[in-house]
Structure 1
Amino acid sequence: MLTKVLLILLSMFIILPSRIEGPHVELEKGPSAHDDDVYGPKPQASEKKLPSEETKPTAIGIHGRLDKLPAATRILNSILNNYDHKLRPGIGEKPTVVTVELSVNTLGPISILDMEYTIDITFYQTWYDERLRYNGSFESFVLNGNMVSQLWIPDTFFRNSKRTQEYAITMPNQMVRIHKDGKVLYTIRMTIDAGCSLHMLKFPMDSHSCPLSFSSFSYPENEMIYKWENFELEINKNNSWKLFQFDFTGVSNETETISTPAGDFMVMTLFFNVSRRFGFVAFQNYVPSSVTTMISWVSFWIKKESAPARTSLGITSVLTMTTLGTFSRRNFPRVSYITSLDFYIAICFVFCFSALMEFAVLNFLTYNRTKPRGSPKLRHPRTHALTPPRARQHQEAFVCEIDDSEESDEEEGPSCPAQQSLGPASTQRLGSCCKWCRKYFCMVRSCEGSIWQHGRLFIHIYRLDNYSRVVFPVSFFFFNVVYWLVCLNL
């Protein structure tokens, strides 16, 4: 009985492995049976590898990398174990030489009202620290911002900065690279709002040099020295549009030593040179000022009898120039001197005001000239019919004088016979002007007479508009020629 049970168990152990291996054999042979029906390269049978053979190269690679990690850790621990980050390298022996380099990411905008500008830079500082030398297969170590506090870093600060922003997303934008010979490279990105004294005397044809100066805060010149590294400033000109009203023209540098109660410090300064674009200011100030000045000359072609029209045009021109002068100073620093633009607007204001005063003078003089000295009834034709012949002849002189003086400027013919019959005493009485005015101003339409001295320059009052039509445009033209020649050549 026992033997039968053993035989049955033995047969079961023999039959079960064969049934289990059967389907696997069919699956392996199945694809090969249909190889002729598949389009493309025929799959090649891959050689089976033992598990130990497959994992052996990977294990060696991981083992090699794991061997380097402890080596790097040991090197860092060895150089930082006895390192004191509070003391500068070479203390008590020689000054530390820090080599500086800049990379400008963006420049601008420049605020005229606040007299400052914004600059985004990547600041590089390089120095040697003998305490960080090491021996090993690593050429350098790159440490992130978290390790910066464990090393000595130069205490460089920007002397003319108003606000400084350091970036900390996603990590502080700082980096330290330590070379095996002790060379250290420290890199940081920051945005600085720096002051820039803008001299606006030649505005808007002005150019400026905005400085960016830096030095050590606590180490004087005998302990820390700065120097430039291959002074070739990298500027991303694709972002120069942030200057808006300015064009970038170049950069220069300067090194100086300043004396303070704490010692003599070496100061490094970069100057970013910019020049103003003229187009914006021209369309906002020069063109409106010139056009307003020319519009004020229209009153010279309007009859002097149209007092409301000429007065309204003159006052409007003066008020417009006042508004333009105020508008040009709205976003402008409150400086005590006048700029080139202020001078131009002031001259345009003078031209507009002179055009208004020209009509006031003309109206005043002609009003005094045409004011009747006799009875007001001389102006009415009805009284002329009832007047005796002798009195009528005397009054016709006044009537003719009044009518002649009120004619338009275009009708400038010779004076009437009644006026010519007036003697020097009558002409002097009807002029009603002071002596010096009669010497140089002609109060009648014909200045050729024995009462005037020959060879003297006389101004015909009735032709004052004709003079102004020529004098004002020609004077304004010559002013513009001189103005632009002087401003563009300074």
Structure 2
Amino acid sequence: MKSFVGLQVVLLVIFLTGCKCKEIEKVDYTDAKSSLLAQMDPLIYDPEVRPHLISGTPEVVAVGIEIDTFSEISVAKMDFTAEIYLRQYWMDPRLADNGSFGLPISLTASETVSSIWKPDLYFLNEKSAKLHSVPSPNILLRIWPTGQILYSQRLSLTIGCQFDFFNFPMDVQICKLEMQSYAYSTDDLHFRWHEPPIDFRKSDLNFPEFELIDIEVDKSIEEHQATGNYSRLIVAVRIKRDSRPYIINIYVPSTVVVILSFMSMWIDPRAVPARVTIGIITVLTTMTQSVNIQQELPKVSYVKAVDVWLAACLVFVVGAMLQYALVNVLLQREADRNKKEPHHAVNRVNPEALSMTDTPAPLVSYWSPGKVDMFGRVVFFVGFAVFNLFYWLFYVLL
């Protein structure tokens, strides 16, 4: 019984000691935070002055990016939208020894965060940017007793990207995110990558129309500008367009239209309405496809792969229509010759009956309408097959 009571007393002492330690930790953290805020007093801390200005050494800021999503890639506007967590690390000796007993102090209030010096990093090719503020501003300032600082922000960025549409729609694009200081040259500030520089999960990054190949970072480079040399960081996002929707919606229908124009060569040449209708419909369909594609893409000064395809399809369908024009001319000549043959037959019986105004019968042309149609069937089909071979070899495999 006595041992049981003794055990209860020991457990009670341990419980009270633990509670007291937690209260002490809470008091210590509160005191440390108050001490840190006192160090950030505007009377003794100037947020406009960088930490190592007096010593003359440049600030070294490590940058890390966590990519959350790519929400939109606009081909017409030539930009993409991404949600990222931007994290910057640097040392500020003025905020060291803040009495935080070895633990970092986190600050989230906008007024407090704005009261210390921060790097003026900006995105060179940014079109628009937004700091998330629901339910509160998504910012974090974490300060260690050593003076190390972490500044984290959650941003939505719309970044311009110079797309190259030469191989469209089998193209691979490289979109860059470029960052540098706006006011501080390399004499005052250097950017470098934190480890790891880029954090993302490839399976979570779903692109409309595109497939992510890789995300790479370039080493910190110095960029010369009129006001000095500036430290710059670059993130390169390599994406490949999913060409399957374009094959289904453009290449397959246009191929069917071209083959349909060739099939008219199997129709009786005397069926003029049928062959002319097929020719006109195939030409108009190909031209409509070309116009619709041009409306979806920005105007560029070079020829795209899809332009070559549609132009070739237009050449083939127009060629099929011109082929029937030749067949129709031969039909007319054949009809005229058949009308004159009885008259010339009589004249051959009585040669003296020929007058000076009579003309001899035209020679029978080797190229009859039937032979022209047979020749066209072979030439057009073989020509279209050869074009396909070279087209796909050039734009896909090479």
Report the counterpart of residue 3 of structure 2 in structure 1.
Answer: none
Mark the CA change 1:484 to 1:396 in structure 2 (over 3 Å): closer, same or farther. Answer: farther
Name the % identity. 27
Residue 170 of structure 2 is matched in structure 1 by 205
Q: Is the 8 A contact 2:88 2:152 kept in 1?
A: yes
Residue of 205, 216, 229 corresponding to 1:240: 205
Q: State the alpha-carbon separation in 1 of the partners of residues 286 and 135 from structure 2.
A: 54
Match of 1:388 in 2: none
Say what the alpha-carbon RMSD is for the aligned residues: 3.1
Unaligned runs of 5+ in 1: 1-47, 379-390, 398-427, 432-442, 448-458
Q: CA deviation at 1:138?
A: 3.6
Per the alignment, in what secondary structure is the counterpart of residue 75 of structure 1? Answer: helix
Please give the residue correspondences for 1:19-38 in structure 2 after superposition, counting only pairs within 5 Å: none
Aligned residue for 1:338, secondary structure, equals: coil
Question: Is the counterpart of residue 116 in structure 1 residue 79 in structure 2?
Answer: yes
In structure 2, distance between residues paired with 1:362 and 1:179: 88
Cα distance, 1:187–1:219 mapped onto 2, change above 3 Å:
same
Deviation readout 1:350-389 (Å, 9 max, x if unpaired): 110111111111111231232159789x6xxxxxxxxxxx
1:288 to 224, 235, 253: 253
Cα deviation for residue 430 of structure 1 reads: 2.8
**Is the deviation greater in 80-89 or in 111-120?**
80-89
Deviation at residue 97 of structure 1 after TM alignment: 0.3
Q: Which amino acid aligns with 1:94?
A: T
* Structure 2 residue 65 is matched with structure 1 residue 102: yes
Q: Secondary structure at the match of 2:97?
A: coil
C-alpha contact (below 8 Å) 1:106/1:236 kept by paired residues? no
* TM-fit CA distance, 1:460: 4.8
Residue 260 of structure 1 deviates from its aligned partner by 2.2
The yes-or-no answer on 1:444 pairing with 2:364 is: yes
Matching of residue 253 in structure 1 with residue 200 in structure 2: no
- Residue in structure 1 matched with residue 113 of structure 2 by the alignment: 148
- Using the TM superposition, give the Cα deviation of residue 262 of structure 1 relative to its aligned residue in structure 2, in angstroms: 2.1
Q: Which has the higher contact order (CA 8 A, sep 6+)?
A: 2
For the residues of structure 1 that align with 2:345 and 2:338, how far apart are their CA atoms? 16
- One-letter amino acid of the counterpart of residue 119, structure 2: P
Letter in 2 for 1:142: S
User: Going by fraction, where is strand more abundant, 1 or 2?
Assistant: 2
Q: Quote the offset at 1:151 in angstroms.
A: 1.1
Aligned to 1:10: none
Q: 1:445-464 maps to which residues of 2 (within 5 A)?
A: 459-464=367-372
Q: Report how far residue 329 of structure 1 moved.
A: 1.6
Q: Distance in 2 between matches of 1:77 and 1:113?
A: 49
**Structure 1 residue 171 displacement after superposition:** 1.5
Hey, what's the Cα distance between the residues in 2 that align with 1:196 and 1:392?
76
Q: Deviations over 1:217-258 (max 9, x none)?
A: 1101110000011245211334322x1111111122223322
Report the equivalent of 2:378: 470
Amino acid aligned to 2:78: M
Distance 1:367 1:467 in 2: 19
Contact 1:249 1:273 in 2 (8 A): yes
Give the equivalent residue in structure 2 for 1:487: 395
SS in 1 for 2:292: helix
TM-score of the pair, normalised by structure 1: 0.71
> Closer, same or farther in 2 for the Cα pair 1:472/1:213, shift >3 Å?
same
| 2:158 corresponds to | 193
- Structure-2 separation of matches of 1:126 and 1:313: 69
Q: 2:5 — aligned with what? A: none
Alignment partners' CA distance in 2, 1:66 and 1:145:
20
Residue equivalent to 2:318? 353
Q: Which has the larger radius of gyration?
A: 1
Q: In the alignment, is the contact (CA less than 8 A) between 1:105 and 1:235 conserved in 2?
A: yes
Alignment match, 2:52? 90
Q: 1:267 to 1:135 in 2, by over 3 A?
A: closer
Runs (5+) with no aligned partner, structure 2: 1-7, 350-358
Structure-2 change in CA distance of 1:366 and 1:396 (3 Å): farther
Alpha-carbon displacement from aligned partner over 1:438-474 (angstroms, at most 9, x marks no partner): xxxxx637x5xxxxxxxxxxx5554100111111111
Contact 1:107 1:120 in 2 (8 A): yes
Match of 1:173 in 2: 138
- Contact 1:365 1:461 survives alignment (8 Å): yes
- Per the alignment, residue 35 of structure 2 pairs with 75
User: Hey, what's the Cα distance between the residues in 2 that align with 1:70 and 1:323?
Assistant: 71
Count of residues in Structure 1 that have an aligned counterpart in Structure 2: 379
Q: Is the 8 A contact 1:79 1:134 kept in 2?
A: no
> Per-residue deviation at 1:187?
0.5
1:430 equivalent to 2:361? Answer: yes
* Structure 1 contact 133–182 (Cα < 8 Å) conserved: yes
Matched, 1:64 2:64: no
Q: 1:299 aligns with which of 242, 264, 275?
A: 264
- The alignment partner of 1:348 has SS state of helix
